[in-house]
Amino acid sequence: MSTTPSQLHRDAARNIVTRCLKVRPGENAVIESWDHTLPFAVAMVDEIRRAGGRTLHIEEDEDAWWRAIDRRQSKLLGSASGPEWAALKAADLYVHFWGPGDTDRIEKLPERTFDEAIAWFAPWYDAARKNGLRGARVSLGFATEGRARQWGLNRARWEERILRACLTDPADSAKRGARLVRRLARGKKVRITHPNGTDLEVGLSGKPPRLQDGTPHPRDKRYGPSDMLSQIPGGRVDVALDARTAEGTIHANRRTNIWWFWSDGGTLEFEGGKLRSFSFDHGGKDFAAQYRKGTAGRDRTGSLTFGLNPAAHDVPNLESVELGSTTLVVGRNQHLFGSNGSNFMNWVTLAGAEVAIDGSPVLRDGRIV
């Protein structure tokens, strides 16, 4: 695989550097990538330097990572080295590309092994919050050969669509989202309908909606503990739900991607505020296994997400940011200052729905009204 960035890589990287991260001269940046994301990482290094920033590029070798897994060194992988912690403390900016790229092997890993290998997450976020770091997690790393094969996609075209979604101006997403934020902030109930049979009413919690326009929000108390990093491509509005109110059924028409596990064709049915039944065309066993281990609140609605990115139309792994999409989260919502502290969290996404708040339409045919 060539490590030479394409012009589209460079354009997307420049947009992230100038509009999302707003890199300033003299700032220090750490870029972490994997083999399969090197062209984009290289473009990010170049664009940060163009803006006058200093860079440290860390590449995790795929083969070396899996060799450590085979040696049963998942706990070692889950503890970052001293130099990495030192770099984090000295950094102003951080850009992360998801990996590893062998999603076929990831799906077969025991859950405990995978959890041990990513145990560095919690202490990393603690340090990042303390240091006021701002940065981005780039979704291109999810476009893997394994996923492309499973879903019948051309990986190169899939990557191109993700990169084009990275070109969205956060200011445009902010303008689109502002209308939804105002309506959600004063609303009580949300009704979601679609010709596919979806008809679901849920209650809003009264907690402030959160606009994720593609820019990071370090040390902003209105945002969650991980929002010093923006998800790229971005563009969505999140809002916590009242766990007591949920009646009806939602039928997903987009995939759900959680790490390297995925589901498709999900149907969730609620009655009396509780999840009464669920079914999936694919991924139902994984959902059921997680649900069985879920703690209190697993059967309650957690939050809604509304997509704002016009370039993310039916792009795998960007379902929740697709303009006009509606994502229903079941389970935990404490990251949105909600009251649901369950260890279970899963979701389904519906594109093209009509959404009304207290009887007044806010989405129609996937468009904000």
- Among 128, 149, 165, residue at a domain's last position: 165
Which residue shows structure tokens 């229903």? 328
For 304-317, give the secondary structure using H, E and C.
EEEECECCCCCCCC
Running DSSP on this structure, what letter comes out for residue 191? E
> Contact 243/274 with Cβ under 8 angstroms?
no
- Counting other chains too, the contacts that 83-90 makes at CB distance below 8 Å and 24 or more residues apart are 84/58, 85/127, 87/30, 87/56, 87/58, 88/30, 88/124, 88/127, 88/128, 88/131, 88/133, 89/127, 89/131, 90/28
Residues 198 and 115 occupy one common structural domain: no
Running DSSP on this structure, what letter comes out for residue 321? G
pLDDT at 179: 93
Assigned domain for 312 exists? yes
pLDDT at 15: 98
Assigned domain for 113 exists? yes
SS3 category, 120: coil
pLDDT at 1: 59
Per-residue pLDDT in tens (0 to 9) along the chain, 369 residues: 578 999 999 999 999 999 999 999 999 999 999 999 999 999 999 999 999 999 999 999 999 999 999 999 999 999 989 999 999 999 999 999 999 999 999 989 998 999 999 999 999 999 999 999 999 999 999 999 999 998 999 999 999 999 999 999 999 999 999 999 999 999 999 999 999 999 999 999 999 999 999 999 998 888 988 899 999 999 999 999 999 999 999 999 999 987 778 899 999 999 999 999 999 999 999 999 999 999 999 999 999 999 999 999 999 999 999 999 999 999 999 999 999 999 999 999 999 999 999 999 999 987 899
Residue 157 belongs to what domain range? Answer: 7-165
> Contact 56/30 with Cβ under 8 angstroms?
yes
The two tokens of residue 330 are 């079941």
User: For residue 161, what are the contacts with CB-CB under 8 A and spacing of at least 6?
Assistant: 311, 312, 315
Nearest residue to 355 (alpha-carbon basis) of 207, 183, 209: 183
Assigned domain for 227 exists? no
Assigned domain for 122 exists? yes
How far is the first Cα of the chain from the last one, in angstroms, to the nearest whole number? 44
SS3 category, 338: coil
Whether the model pTM is above 0.85: yes
Assigned domain for 145 exists? yes
Residues 89 and 180 occupy one common structural domain: no
User: Hey, which bits of 220-333 come out as E strands?
Assistant: 229-232, 236-251, 256-258, 261-263, 267-271, 274-279, 301-307, 326-331
User: For residue 99, what are the contacts with CB-CB under 8 A and spacing of at least 6?
Assistant: 33, 34, 35, 36, 37, 60, 62, 65, 141
Q: Strands 93-97 and 28-34: what pairing? A: parallel
The single-letter code of the amino acid at 316 is P
Residues 127 and 14 occupy one common structural domain: yes
Q: How many CB atoms lie within 10 A of CB 251?
A: 19
The two tokens of residue 100 are 């590893």
Residues 182 and 308 occupy one common structural domain: yes
Residues 190 and 161 occupy one common structural domain: no
- Among 110, 138, 165, residue at a domain's last position: 165
Specify the CATH number for the domain of residue 152.
3.40.1830.10
- Please tell me the total count of domains within the chain: 2
Assigned domain for 60 exists? yes
The two tokens of residue 203 are 């209650």
